Structure 1
Amino acid sequence: MTYKQDTSISVKELENLHTAGAGYDILRYVSLPELLGKESHTLLYFMGRKLARKFHKETTEDIVHIFAHLGWGNLELVKLKKKEMTFQLMADSVVQRLKAPFPADFRLEAGFLAESLQQIQKRECECIESIHSRIHQVEFKVIFSQ
């Protein structure tokens, strides 16, 4: 199967993908930051935004579904304001990443969430993530500029 750059990925196609998480985590949190260097924080955010453009999404539920199937965790909308949305990310996989011997970040997920909501809401936005290590939870605050 060849992959074309402009090909869109449906949410349903994710259900056919299965992988063990340890290899992914090592690549994600050890190899990629070494490869990307000091700009890895920024580059991962924009990689997430670019990745989001590959998926066809119509609703926030589609984003939640994608997060779950990519193994990123259970994404839940906890606060909705006119110019801001707050999400929480929780799962056993999130707990394990936060307990890992290497620093875990969620910049890729933040970029993915920002771009996905920007596409759905048709409003420019950015996403800031906060890691709450004590309760093993990640919070994403999406801020709309309009």
Structure 2
Amino acid sequence: MNDSTVVVETIDTDEPKTISLFGYELIREILLPEILGKDTPEILYWAGKRLARKFPLTDITQIMEFFAKASWGQLEIIKENKTEIQFELMSPVIVPRVKSKAEHFFQLEAGFLAQQIELQKEANAETFEHPVKKSNKVLFTVKWEKN
């Protein structure tokens, strides 16, 4: 193969990149549900768990940084106790989804959170999503229990 047929692109992960919101939403809102059908929420949840296993993170701060780098939004802890953490996710990108979808559209993120917490706490974990239409954000409740 000669140099004219090879394209090499170097991506600096610390430098912010611009992505097409239309392209992102086209895949997420139209293509994936078309391919996955009625099982979309469940498959996205398990896909999020699989992503978390491919990108294991050691603490909550790294999870928040991952969300930002993945363009999923700004993730913050609202409250935490011995068996539960509640997160808030905000981003202009999620506003149309929060307003238009009643439930189950943040299952990729929910599965990712469940698996990360499961790995960090060494316990079985599950995440529940709660879109909040009035404030254009999503709350995630992650609950866990030791085996």
Length-normalised TM-score, structure 1: 0.82
Q: 1:104 and 1:45, CA in 2 relative to 1: closer, same or farther beyond 3 A?
A: closer
Report Cα offsets for 1:68-126 as digits up to 9, x if no partner.
1111110001110111110000122222433469x881000000111111111211100
* Equivalent runs, 1:60-79 vs 2, <5 Å: 60-79=60-79
Cα distance in 2 for residues equivalent to 1:141 and 1:99 = 20
Q: Does 1:34 align with 2:57?
A: no
Name the structure 2 match of 1:22: 22
Most deviating of 90-99 and 80-89? 90-99
Matched residue SS, 1:127: strand
Unaligned runs of 5+ in 1: 1-12
| Alignment CA distance shift 1:24-1:86 (3 Å) | same
Measured on the aligned residues, the alpha-carbon RMSD in Å equals: 2.0
What corresponds to 1:80 in structure 2? 80
Q: Kindly, what percent of the aligned residue pairs are identical?
A: 35
**So what's the TM-score if we normalise by structure 2?**
0.82
Unaligned runs of 5+ in 2: 1-11
Q: Any idea what SS the aligned residue of 2:71 has?
A: coil
Cα distance, 1:17 vs structure 2: 7.7
- What is the match of residue 59 of structure 2? 59
Separation in structure 1 between the aligned mates of residue 144 and residue 104 of structure 2, nearest angstrom: 26
Q: In the alignment, what sits opposite 1:6?
A: none
- Mapped to 2, the partners of 1:91 and 1:97 lie a distance apart of 11
Q: Which residue of 2 aligns with 1:120?
A: 120
* Structure index of larger Rg: 2
Per-residue deviation, 1:57? 1.1
Q: How far apart, CA to CA, are the structure 1 residues paired with 2:107 and 2:61?
A: 20
Q: How far apart, CA to CA, are the structure 2 residues paired with 1:31 and 1:95? A: 19
Q: What is the CA distance between 1:29 and its match in structure 2?
A: 1.3
**In the aligned structure 2, how far is the partner of 1:113 from the partner of 1:141?**
9
In structure 2, do the counterparts of structure 1 residues 124 and 104 end up closer, same or farther at CA, with 3 Å as the change threshold?
closer
- The one-letter amino acid of 1:68's match is A
Kept in 1: contact 2:128–2:140 (CA 8 A): yes
3-state secondary structure, aligned to 2:14: helix
Question: How many residues of Structure 1 are paired with residues of Structure 2 in the alignment?
Answer: 133
Q: Is the 8 A contact 1:14 1:66 kept in 2?
A: no
